[in-house]
């Protein structure tokens, strides 16, 4: 019974990973991030998905956000902070250390409406 449970659990993990890897839009499956800048393709895809006007972006800072520092190692996430010429503030993309987006949000007086491309 114990081996059957292990087999089921391993199969479940394999199916989950394979379903993500089979999606060509799932960039995280092809990345091996060692630094926050390695998540740039994911951030670029998010910019396109949200239709953010690239002409309004004046810069992007990629940061490591340390959650904890322990004996076993560091626990951290990555962030991308975008600056714009149309507002004072940032648009932040929070990602885990595998570059999977956990959330994104505007800060300061930047609103998504201020930074998207005009139609």
Q: Produce one character per residue of 12-23: b if its CB has 16 or more CB atoms within 10 Å, e if not.
A: eeeeeeeeeeee
Q: How confident is the model at residue 75 (pLDDT cuts 50, 70, 90)?
A: confident
**Chain segment 18-42, per-residue pLDDT in tens:** 444 444 454 555 566 678 999 999 9
Looking at beta carbons, which pairs linking 38-45 to residues 24 or more positions away fall under 8 Å?
38/99, 39/78, 39/80, 39/95, 39/99, 40/80, 42/93, 42/95, 42/99, 42/100, 42/101, 43/80, 43/93
Q: Closest by alpha carbon to 85, among 111, 60, 115?
A: 115
The predicted model gives 80-96 an average pLDDT of: 96
Taking the whole predicted model, whether its pTM rises above 0.85 is answered as: no
pLDDT at 4: 45
Q: Longest C-alpha distance within the chain, in Å?
A: 62
Average pLDDT in the 94-116 region? Answer: 94
Residue 11 has pLDDT above 60, yes or no: no
Whole-Å CA distances, 24 to 18, 75, 103: 12, 28, 21
């Amino acid at each position: 019974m114990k081996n059957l449970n292990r087999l089921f659990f391993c199969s479940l993990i394999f199916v989950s990973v394979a379903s993500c890897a089979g999606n060509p839009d799932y960039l995280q499956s092809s990345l091996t991030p060692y630094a926050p800048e390695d998540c740039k393709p994911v951030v670029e895809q998010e910019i396109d998905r949200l239709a953010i006007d690239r002409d309004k972006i004046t810069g992007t800072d990629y940061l490591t956000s340390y959650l904890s520092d322990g004996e076993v190692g560091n626990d951290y996430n990555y962030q991308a902070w975008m600056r714009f010429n149309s507002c004072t503030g940032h648009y932040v993309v929070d990602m885990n250390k595998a570059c999977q987006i956990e959330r994104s949000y505007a800060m300061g007086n930047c609103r998504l409406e201020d930074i998207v491309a005009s139609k």
